[in-house]
Amino acid sequence: MNQRAIANETLFLQADNVLDNALARQRIVGAVVLVARDGHIVHRRAAGWLDREARRPMREDAIFRLSSLTKPIVSATALALAERGLIRLDDPLQRWLPALALRTADGKAATITLRQLLTHTAGLDYGFFQTAQGPYNVARVSDGLADAGLGIDEQLRRLGTVPLSFPPGTVWRYSVGLDVLGEVLARAAGQTLPALVRRYVCDPLHMHDTAFTVRDAERLATPYADGSPPPRMADPHEVAFMEGLAGIRFAPSRVFDARSFASGGAGMAGSAPDFMRFLLAIANGGGPILRPESAQAMMQNQIGPLRIDVEPTRSWGFGFGGAVLLDRDLAGERRSNGTWRWGGVYGHHWFVDPGRSLVVTVLTNTAMAGMSSRFTEDLQAAIYEAL
């Protein structure tokens, strides 16, 4: 057995131990873990429960509510449209949504580009980054996770009643920018956002379980929230986020309500194998969905000297659809500089480490332990110790 094979075997054992420990300690309810090296999946594991109360075990082809794993898929769709000349990333938002008049806090009209929507530098926000009395929550601007039945026209109307959180291009702030961009794409191409994502990303990559609807409800993972043990999510359900801020509101039924706007930031459902297929396509040059330069741009810092504000160190920039590691020493990271990664509040995380030819996809049904917790830290440590 060669050294690479030994490392892979060690990886399997250590990753499985971390997963088994998290399940035994009831940090998560169920998970699917996929690890790829050199473009090929070398480890796959489904464990725990798809539905704990019904005693239905997790399965590798389980379908999960993807939350922010939607963002890189919609970002790739936007780049596919840009390659075809249907949009330009430096187009002003006003060109496509003239009725959406966004203004700064002092009342001045703001010029926002599609690139700023893609990179969360447009001055927009999320309600869960504000207090319960913050402007987004008072105006009932949706985060794309709840508010079943809310249409895009009403969402944009509400958004237009609140000021920008900062002048466009001056600060990185995680936001509803991809929801706004999704409507831009639909208007630019004359098709719905779900149709565009299917045409330009999902169908070419044979991601048949990934859509803005649930293709097979029998395989849909039941969602749970953090707790000991994690409680089954109600509908709606609120999960505490940061101290002093509004919690994150979930409505698991939203994905079944055809009246709900197709949230480009959080609205899709899909499986771990589908999402791994997408990540491998981007990591390996974009084919068949993007040109190599577009795929490379997704994994490169697109926000210049700005840094993302959800990390304690100024070591992460942002590409298209995920953060980019710029200073591993400052971050105290094992992952290589150039690592591209993100997560989803329903309980998911992923990363692409080009320096190690490594891609990891972890989908769980536990919000938010599957995205950021002792489990995610231990799993990453186990993988890199094996390597």
Residues marked active site are found at 68
Dihedral of alpha carbons 240, 245, 246, 250, sign? negative
> Which long-range contacts does 52-59 make (Cβ < 8 Å, 24+ apart)?
52/222, 52/224, 52/232, 53/222, 53/232, 54/222, 57/30, 58/30, 58/31, 58/32, 58/221, 58/365, 59/219
Could you give the angle at the alpha carbon of 119 between the alpha carbons of 113 and 120, nearest 5°?
A: 90
Beta strands in the chain (DSSP E): 30-37, 40-51, 56-57, 63-65, 224-225, 237-239, 248-250, 269-271, 316-318, 323-325, 340-344, 348-353, 358-364, 366-367
Q: What is the C-alpha separation between 82 and 85, in angstroms, rounded? A: 5
Kind of pairing, strands 366-367 and 224-225? parallel
d(CA 250, CA 238): 6
